[in-house]
Structure 1
C-alpha cells in the first residue's frame, strides 16, 4: 500500500476520526469531516476502526455527505485489507450508484478472495450498463476468475480505449498468452491521453517487457513512464526475463526527457505564436505540452525571457508547467537561469518532485561547474529518480566521483547504473 500521502491529517486521532464518522450530520460543524474521517482511518488498522468503517457502509442515508463518506469507507477497508468486511462490501455490488460499485469491486480486489460467489457477483456487473468496466475487468484478472474470460473478451472491441486495453490485458493474463498483449502497443500513441496513461498500467499488469522502449517514447508525464519502466525492471531483471541492457537506454531517455525522444501524437498545421505555446505548458495532456516544448526549442530559441515571465506569473506554483519551464531553460542553455534551476533542484514540495530530476538534467545542459556540488548534495537522498538524474548530469559535467559514491547504494538499479558509468569512465 502506498503510504506517502495517507496521513494527511496528522493531528487527527483514531478516536476523534471514529467520532466524526458516527456523528449525525446535523451535529457537525463541517459535514466534510465525515469523508475525512473515513479516509484517515487507513492509518489505524484496528478492530475499532474496521468496525466503524463497516458501520459507515451499512448506513444508507441518501444525503450526499453520507454517500461520499460511505464510498471512502469502502475504499479504506480495501486499503486495510479487512477480510471480515468482505460480506458488507459484496452487498454494495448490487447498488445503483456506479461509484459505490466501483469502490466495492476495487476493495475486494485489494482484500483478495477465491470465493466463487463473490467473484461471480463482480463478473455479473459487466452485464449492467454504465459501470466502471475497466476496474471490474482489472480485478477479475487480478483474482484470476477464469469463468469471466468470455465476458471480458467482448470488451476488447469497446469504443473506449482504456476499457478495450484493460480487456486485452485481462485476456492475456487469464489465458497465459502474452502474444495477445502486443495489441496494446498501438495505445501508447493514441490521441486520447487517458488511453495512453491507462495502457501503461496494462503493460505493467501483464509484464510485457518488449514494450520498454516504446513506453519511454510515449508522450505522457514522465511520472507515468518512470513508474512503468521501474515496475518492469524490478520484475524482469531479477527474474532473468530481461537484462539491464534493455532497461538502461529507456530509463536514460525517459529521465533526460527531450521531446525529440518521444513519439508525439499531436501536430500543428502552422507554427503557433509563442504566447500560445507557453499556455500549452499548463495543460494536463503532456502530449500537447511536449509538442509545445519541441516547437519552442526549434522555433523560439530566444524564448527564455518569456519563459521566466510565465514562471513568475503562474509557473512557479503549477507543478506541470514548472517541470516544462525548468527543462526548457536547460535545453535553451539559458545560463542566467542557473539560480532558478538550482532552486528547483532543492524544491521539497511533494508535487514538484519530478522538477528536481528535471533540474538536474537542466544543470548539465548549462555546463556550469558550480552545479557539481549541488548535484552531489542530492546523492544521499532516498529518491531514486533524482539520484539517477544526478548521475547522468554529473557524468555529462565530467565529474565521475558520484558513480563511486553510489556503487554501493541500497537500490539495485542505482548501484547497477553507477557501476556501469564508473566502468565506462575507466575505458575512456
Structure 2
C-alpha cells in the first residue's frame, strides 16, 4: 500500500537508510534520522529492508528517538506485509506505551494474524479503557475474531462516538445484525471533525452503502467522501450500482457547497474578509459554510478579498486553494478584470502537480470549463490520457465535462480516446464514465 508522501527523501537509497538504522544513537546527525530511515524503507520491499526493520525493532533503548522509530517500524513492516514479523509485533502488545500497543494491534490486523493466543490478548486489552479501544475493535473485526463479539457489543453504547461507531461496525461484520447501522449516519454529523472522519471508516467497515446519501452530504473532506464511495462500491455489485456510483463520484468532484449539510451557523452576517478567512479553517463544516455564504455576496467585494488573500497565503495553502478553485466557477458574474486573473490562476492550478494540492487540478478544470468553455479543449485532450494525467480523478473530470452540451464538439472529436479509456483505463470509475458517454452518443 503506497502513499503520496512515502518517497519524500528520493536522494536516500535503501543502503543509506539501512546504514542509518545500524548507526549508534550518539553518532546520528539528527534525532529524527531513525524515523526518517524507517519510513523510507517502505519504498524498498524485500529481504534487506525487512531484516533491517526487524533488527531495529529488537533494539533495546530508552531513547525517545528509538522508541518513536520503532513504532513506525511496526507500521512499515505491516504495510510491507512481512508476516514473519508477527511474533515481534505481538510482543509490543505488552508495551507500557499505549501508542505502540495501538500500532501493534493495527499491524497484526494488517498482516492477518491467525494466532488465537494473540487474539485473546487483544480482547483482554479491550477491557482497558486507557488503550485505544477503537483500534482494538477494528483490529479484532478485521481479523474476524468472533470470540470478541461479547466484549465488543456493550461498547456500542460507549460515550465516545468513535468507539461506538467502531463497535457498531464490528458487530455488523461479526454478527450480521445491521439494526444499529443508521446510528452511523448520525455520527457523520457530530461536532468533532475527527469523529466525523472516523464515522466514514465505520460506514465503510459496516458495508453501509445504504448510507451513501448521508456520506455525500457530510461536512468532511471530499477525499474522505470519495474514499468511502470507492470502498462501498468495491464491496457491492450489480449494473444498477454503476449508475449510482457514477452519480456519487460526480457529486463529490463537483463538490457544490450548497449540497453539504453544515453544522455551524453565523449569528450575525460576517464581513466578506472573514468569510474568505473561513476557507482556511481546519473544520470543513466551517469552510463549506463560508462557501455557501460567499455565493450570496457581491462578486466585486468577494474578488477584492479573494485576490488579497490569494497573494498573501491562499496560493500556498492547499485547503483554501481547493475551495477557491471551486468558488471561481460557482460565481458567474465576475468583472472582466477578475476573470483575467482567474483565468491565469485556474490554468496554473490545472497544471499543478504538488502532492498536497492533489484535489485542486480537477476542481480548477471544472471551473475553467464553466468560465471559459471555448478555451478548454487542450486541457481536456491532455486530461484524457494516462500519460499526461496520471491521476484518475482528472481523467474522470475531463470525461464528466465532455458530457456538457456546450462541449459536444470536443466530445465528438475525442470519441476514439473515450472508447480507449472505456476499455483500458486502469481505474474502473474512469472506464465506467467513458462507457456511459459512449452509451448515449
Q: What residue in structure 2 maps to residue 398 of structure 1?
A: 407
SS of equivalent residue, structure 1 residue 199: helix
Structure-2 separation of matches of 1:285 and 1:165: 20
Structure-2 separation of matches of 1:407 and 1:41: 40
Over the aligned positions, Cα root-mean-square deviation in angstroms equals 1.9
Q: What residue in structure 2 maps to residue 420 of structure 1?
A: 436
Q: What residue in structure 1 maps to residue 80 of structure 2?
A: 80
SS of equivalent residue, structure 2 residue 36: helix
Quote how far apart the aligned CAs of 1:54 are: 2.1
Structure-2 separation of matches of 1:232 and 1:367: 35
Contact kept, 8 Å, 1:363 with 1:393, in 2: the verdict is no
Quote how far apart the aligned CAs of 1:404 are: 5.2
How is 1:185-334 mapped onto 2 (pairs within 5 angstroms)?
Answer: 185-236=185-236, 239-240=237-238, 243-302=241-300, 303-333=302-332, 334=334
How is 1:109-258 mapped onto 2 (pairs within 5 angstroms)?
Answer: 109-236=109-236, 239-240=237-238, 243-258=241-256
Structure 2 length-normalised TM: 0.91
Contact kept, 8 Å, 1:14 with 1:49, in 2: the verdict is yes
1:13 to 1:374, Cα distance in 2 relative to 1, 3 A: closer
Contact kept, 8 Å, 1:407 with 1:414, in 2: the verdict is no
SS of equivalent residue, structure 1 residue 130: coil
Contact kept, 8 Å, 2:272 with 2:297, in 1: the verdict is no
Contact kept, 8 Å, 2:4 with 2:355, in 1: the verdict is no
Quote how far apart the aligned CAs of 1:254 are: 1.4
In structure 2, stretches of 5+ residues that fail to align are none
1:88 to 1:270, Cα distance in 2 relative to 1, 3 A: same
Quote how far apart the aligned CAs of 1:373 are: 2.2
Contact kept, 8 Å, 1:60 with 1:67, in 2: the verdict is no
Structure 1 length-normalised TM: 0.94
Quote how far apart the aligned CAs of 1:233 are: 2.1
Question: Deviations 1:24-67 (Å, cap 9, x if unpaired)?
Answer: 11111212111111112222333333232222222231111111
Structure-1 separation of matches of 2:213 and 2:419: 25
1:230 to 1:251, Cα distance in 2 relative to 1, 3 A: same
Structure-2 separation of matches of 1:417 and 1:241: 13
Q: What residue in structure 1 maps to residue 390 of structure 2?
A: 382
Structure-2 separation of matches of 1:77 and 1:374: 41
SS of equivalent residue, structure 1 residue 310: helix
Structure-2 separation of matches of 1:39 and 1:165: 30
In structure 1, stretches of 5+ residues that fail to align are none
Structure-1 separation of matches of 2:100 and 2:4: 25
